[in-house]
A = this chain, B = another copy of it.
Amino acid sequence: MAAPGYSADRASLQARLARIEGQVRGLQRMLDEDRYCIDVLTQVTAVKAALDKVALALLDDHVSHCVVDSVREGTHAEKIRELTDAIGRYLG
């Protein structure tokens, strides 16, 4: 159980995060250019949607690896509580 669950998909997660970083820099440029609030907000919405996809990919990987391994080891109760706590915090 050396590497965390997202190892296999790390390249794809890193690509998503690099894109999000670019979108956040784009937001800073939009403010510099005095762009219309609603257009800026639309772009913030796009960043939030991209972030939701990262969160989902992390959840998927966590269940597919950590939770599945813990079932085999009979230690899943704690892993599952940790998972739903994390989703609960993400929901707000």
- Of the candidates B14, B17, B76, which one forms a contact with A68 in the assembled complex, judged by CB atoms under 8 Å apart? B76
Which residue of chain B is the closest to A48 with respect to CB atoms? B51
B60 and A34: CB pair below 8 A? no
B63 and A41: CB pair below 8 A? no
Q: Mark out the residues of chain A between 37 and 77 whose CB falls within 8 Å of any chain B CB in the assembled complex.
A: 37-38, 40-42, 44-45, 47-49, 51-52, 54-56, 58-68, 71-72, 76-77
State the copy count for this chain: 4
B24 and A17: CB pair below 8 A? yes
Cβ of A13: which chain B residues have Cβ within 8 Å of it? 31
Q: Mark out the residues of chain A between 1 and 46 whose CB falls within 8 Å of any chain B CB in the assembled complex.
A: 3-7, 10, 13-14, 17-18, 20-21, 24-25, 27-28, 31-32, 34-38, 40-42, 44-45
